[in-house]
Amino acid sequence: MVMNRKCIIRLSRYKNALKRLKALGFVKVFSGNLADAAGVTSSQVRKDFSLFGITGNRRGGYKVDELITKIREILGKNELQKVVIIGVGNIGKALLRYKGFEAGGIKVIAGFDIDSTKYVETSEVPIYPLDNFREFVHDHDVKIGILAVPDVAAHHVSEIMISAGIKGILNFAPIQLRTADDVVISNINLEVELENLIYFVNAQGKTEEGA
Amino acid sequence: MVMNRKCIIRLSRYKNALKRLKALGFVKVFSGNLADAAGVTSSQVRKDFSLFGITGNRRGGYKVDELITKIREILGKNELQKVVIIGVGNIGKALLRYKGFEAGGIKVIAGFDIDSTKYVETSEVPIYPLDNFREFVHDHDVKIGILAVPDVAAHHVSEIMISAGIKGILNFAPIQLRTADDVVISNINLEVELENLIYFVNAQGKTEEGA
DNA sequence: CTTTTATTGTGAAAACTAATACAATATATA
DNA sequence: TATATATTGTATTAGTTTTCACAATAAAAG
């Protein structure tokens, strides 16, 4: 079992690239095509594939359809993945409405909030009180949750999520969640990302001067 | 000039942790405190600091205020950083309204869209037609842009951004942007993040069984 | 059918990143 | 002031990830 996060992320990117290539009519691809599309080297592509036991034909490349299927298998995406969102503020609401997931086999099936003015059970994706969370997660066998509450609430809510049975959290709150070993956390911190950009843009300016 | 992205991201995290510790009344901290708050080891903290020439006192730790100032300097955050958003859909709108940036010295000063029904010049953050982009970027000396348009438009819009003088792009579109060397791109791909979580949650399940 | 050619698959080398260990030393204590 | 102690700063070691290089081989060409 490959536990290298970067490698899994590249696998997702290969899959996305393959979908685009397929839409363009490609039936088979070479490692170099995928490398270009995903912004890596061809040997990186082949090495990644070899880690997962994905093989092609020497001199013949890889068949697009087979590759997509195999990658989806590895990523556990051949069955629909149900996701819930906790915190229906700016970000949470945007993700509830975002249509981009469904094509990829991910479906946001509900939102939860403590603010009762946000409850809407009739909309496309219903929004329930946080009190209903545990029952909902149990009934629908949900394993993945998106945490989009303000930072002061984040740790408390994450504990609610975990105790309800959530095993993977995509955390938008700008704090470092500390959790049990069997729960996987992915952090998206927009301020950190922007600070990163600012640093490298400034650095770029400096090295350009120097060159 | 440190060019290790992970290291810069940790620096941002240290800064955030320091702000929290300061709010709790801390005047000085030890590498171990920061390590705990940021979820790394203490030697990692010291190694990172040493790369940037940040020094403390042996046996005395680091002064919180000095540290924050130095990190902000390194990150280029001692002056207000102006950011624009291109694409005022679900995600773009959420980021326009998001209040979390300002405390960190980042200000979203405008949004842009091709859809004329979205123009609002009177709201807190004005939304203009994309045609005004080049002039606005020039007038306000903006260097950082958030790209939040649908994937089919992303590459075209990124070219408009770069030709207008944008040097750093935070890209939410699920494609790999290809750009000039002097432009820095950071990608946030929510589907990829979720796929990653799904993989590791499944993997967790498997290793648990095996154990 | 034989030769040439392009591409895969992977072991080995290189580059990069993190952890360990400990000397140097500032602060605290007696 | 002298001694003990806790913490930094960094050289070294270990670990991880990527690139390189090339044998194996399938397809194409002759």
Query: pLDDT tens across A189-203, in order?
Result: 999 999 999 999 999
Q: Does at least one atom of strand C sit less than 7 Å from the CB of B163?
A: no
Q: How far is A200 from chain B (nearest CA, A)?
A: 7
Q: List strand D contacts in B 19-58 (CB < 7 A).
A: 30-32, 42-43, 46-47, 49-50, 54-58
Q: Sign of dihedral through CA atoms B53, B57, B60, B64?
A: negative
Q: Report d(CA B205, CA B167) in Å as an integer.
A: 43
DSSP string spanning A95-132? HHH--TTGGGTEEEEEEEES-GGG-BSSSSS-EEEGGG
CB contact under 8 Å between A184 and B200, yes or no, is: yes
| Among the partner residues A100, A176, A198, nearest to B75 by beta-carbon distance | A198
Q: Tokens at residue B188, please?
A: 């946030």
pLDDT on residue B171: 98
Cβ partners under 8 Å of residue B187, min gap 6: B171, B176, B177
Q: Does at least one atom of strand C sit less than 7 Å from the CB of B123?
A: no
CB contact under 8 Å between B197 and A5, yes or no, is: no
pLDDT on residue B211: 46
CA of B58 to C1' of C19 (A): 20
User: How many other β-carbons are positioned within 10 Å of the β-carbon of residue B146?
Assistant: 27
Q: Report d(CA B93, CA A96) in Å as an integer.
A: 13
CB contact under 8 Å between B168 and A17, yes or no, is: no
pLDDT on residue A205: 82
Contact indicator for A74, A11 with CB cutoff of 8 Å? yes
Q: Report d(CA A78, CA A72) in Å as an integer.
A: 6
The residue assigned the tokens 């969370």 is A133
Q: Does at least one atom of strand D sit less than 7 Å from the CB of B61?
A: yes
pLDDT reading at A71 higher than 80: yes
pLDDT on residue A64: 98
Nearest nucleotide, CA B28 to C1': D7
Strand partners, B112: B86, B128
CB contact under 8 Å between A201 and B3, yes or no, is: no
Q: Report d(CA A200, CA B97) in Å as an integer.
A: 26
What's the pTM value of the predicted model, to 2 decimals? 0.95
Q: Does at least one atom of strand C sit less than 7 Å from the CB of A70?
A: no
The band of A136, judged by pLDDT with boundaries at 50, 70 and 90, is: very high
pLDDT reading at A106 higher than 70: yes
- Interval A150-166 mean pLDDT: 97
Q: Does residue A13 or residue A103 have the better pLDDT? A: A13
Which chain A residues have a beta carbon less than 8 Å from that of B182?
Answer: 204, 208
The per-residue pLDDT of chain A, averaged, comes to: 94
Task: Determine the residue of chain B that is closest to A199 in CA distance.
Answer: B75
% of chain A exceeding 70 in pLDDT = 98
Count, residues in chain A: 211
pLDDT on residue A111: 98
| Among the partner residues B17, B81, B97, nearest to A90 by beta-carbon distance | B97
pLDDT reading at A210 higher than 60: no
pLDDT reading at A208 higher than 80: no
Count, residues in chain B: 211
Q: How far is B161 from chain A (nearest CA, A)?
A: 14
pLDDT reading at A38 higher than 50: yes
pLDDT, averaged in runs of 10, over chain B (211 residues): 95 95 95 95 98 96 97 91 97 94 93 95 93 98 97 96 98 90 94 96 78 46
Q: Does at least one atom of strand D sit less than 7 Å from the CB of A206?
A: no
pLDDT on residue B209: 65
Task: Determine the residue of chain A that is closest to B99 in CA distance.
Answer: A90
Residue B120 has what DSSP assignment? Answer: B
pLDDT on residue A209: 66
CA proximity to A164, closest of A132, A119, A188:
A132
pLDDT reading at A178 higher than 90: no
Burial class, B98, CB count within 10 angstroms (exposed 0-12 / middle 13-18 / buried 19+): middle
pLDDT on residue B117: 94
CA proximity to B133, closest of B184, B84, B78, B79:
B84
Best of B33, B199, B208 to disrupt the A interface by mutation (most A CBs within 10 Å)? Answer: B199
Contact indicator for B133, B160 with CB cutoff of 8 Å? yes
